[in-house]
């Protein structure tokens, strides 16, 4: 619990899948193009660039899943933050974006922790409210404002060839690892995920911990929205929809128990990389979309079955 980077079985399995995906992709490009595209530093750095947005979103999602909850408001939290940042512009737009994330997380946390509404239901409702508010704000059309300079800096620009979005992902990762391994909040999150009632009886202020976790999740979502808006050079409606299920899948593929109380952050990073690389390889192979979804789902189900089998044997 205290060492999120320990190489446990799910992490090792995930690393094995990454190697397998790269090997299959390399064999395909060698056979069709005569080059090992998937092993080139340029390609790998590009995948990190694209994967950073999913990685940041999944990092926040892990915080609530560790508690045994889930946040379905992530798509429109991400989109709302980016859309408001472009509409307002400048530093004030970025501050508004961060404020939206914290406010949404606070509302979600209060609804789940104090009102005791199931997180799946409450956050889905909040997501719908955000959707409606953004449609009202834009009149049902995409915002006309382009990404701000700060968004372009975070999402598109590079320093010494390294995308800034990857650097942002690294800073977010370091912050969450510190929380999970070096603070009482991290210990409380694992304790609540294992048994909330026991944690409460031992003196943990469980409601405040739940609120904090949802605020971290929403904050990560709007940070990803700022960077993604810069990468796309604009903010648009439903820009966060493509990150909900993959962010949950990345957390679960990384070995975090969907019921809470178990998981390491390194696994979430590996899960995000698996999803990004798998999508890239299937795209390069030019498979039909239906076939891609079949393979994508089969890989996820297969890994989960391997994980569950390993846990039963260990037990």
CA atoms within 13 A on the CB side of 64: 31
- Mean pLDDT, residues 276-282: 88
Residue 315's pLDDT band (cuts 50, 70, 90) = very low
Rounded to the nearest 5°, which phi and psi values hold at 311? -70, -40
pLDDT of residue 309: 53
Per-residue model confidence as pLDDT tens digits over 15-66: 988 999 899 888 888 887 777 777 888 889 999 999 999 999 999 999 999 9
Confidence of residue 285 (pLDDT cuts 50, 70, 90): confident
| Predicted local distance difference test score (pLDDT) of residue 5 | 47
- CA–CA distance, 301 with 304 (Å, rounded to integer): 5
Predicted local distance difference test score (pLDDT) of residue 302: 74
Write down all domains in the chain, each with its CATH number in brackets. Answer: 9-314 (1.10.3470)
- Read off the DSSP letter of residue 262: -
Q: Is the pLDDT of residue 145 over 90?
A: no
Angle at CA of residue 218, ends 215 and 220, nearest 5° = 110
**C-alpha atoms less than 13 angstroms from C-alpha of 24 in its C-beta half-sphere:** 14
Calpha distance 64→176 (Å, rounded)? 12
Q: Report pLDDT for 312.
A: 43
């Amino acid at each position: 619990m205290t060492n999120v980077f320990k190489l446990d079985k799910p992490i090792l399995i995930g690393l094995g899948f990454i190697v397998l995906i790269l090997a299959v992709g390399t064999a395909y490009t060698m056979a069709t193009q005569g080059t090992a595209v998937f092993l080139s530093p340029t390609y790998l750095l590009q995948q990190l660039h694209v994967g950073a947005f999913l990685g940041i979103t999944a990092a926040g999602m892990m915080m609530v899943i560790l508690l045994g909850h889930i946040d379905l408001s992530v798509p429109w939290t991400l989109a709302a933050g980016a859309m408001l940042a472009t509409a307002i512009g400048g530093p004030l737009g970025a501050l508004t974006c961060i404020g939206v994330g914290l406010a949404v997380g606070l509302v979600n946390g209060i609804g789940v922790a104090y009102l005791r509404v199931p997180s799946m239901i409450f956050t889905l409702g909040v997501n719908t409210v955000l959707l409606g508010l953004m449609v009202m704000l834009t009149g049902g059309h995409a915002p006309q404002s382009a990404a701000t300079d700060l968004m372009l800096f975070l999402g598109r620009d590079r320093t010494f060839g390294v995308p800034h979005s990857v650097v942002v992902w690294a800073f977010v990762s370091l912050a969450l690892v510190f929380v999970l391994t070096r603070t009482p909040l991290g210990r409380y999150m694992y304790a609540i995920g294992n048994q909330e009632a026991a944690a409460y009886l031992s003196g943990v202020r469980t409601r405040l911990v739940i609120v904090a976790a949802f605020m971290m999740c929403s904050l990560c979502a709007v940070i990803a929205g700022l960077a993604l808006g810069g990468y796309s050079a604009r903010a648009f409606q439903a820009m966060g929809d493509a990150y909900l299920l993959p962010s949950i899948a990345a957390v679960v593929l990384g070995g975090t128990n969907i019921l809470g109380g178990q998981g390491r952050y390194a696994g979430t990073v590996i899960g995000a990389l698996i999803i990004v690389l798998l999508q890239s390889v299937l795209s390069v192979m030019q498979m039909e979309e239906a076939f891609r979804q079949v393979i994508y789902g089969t890989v996820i189900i297969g890994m989960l079955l391997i994980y569950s089998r390993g846990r039963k044997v260990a037990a």
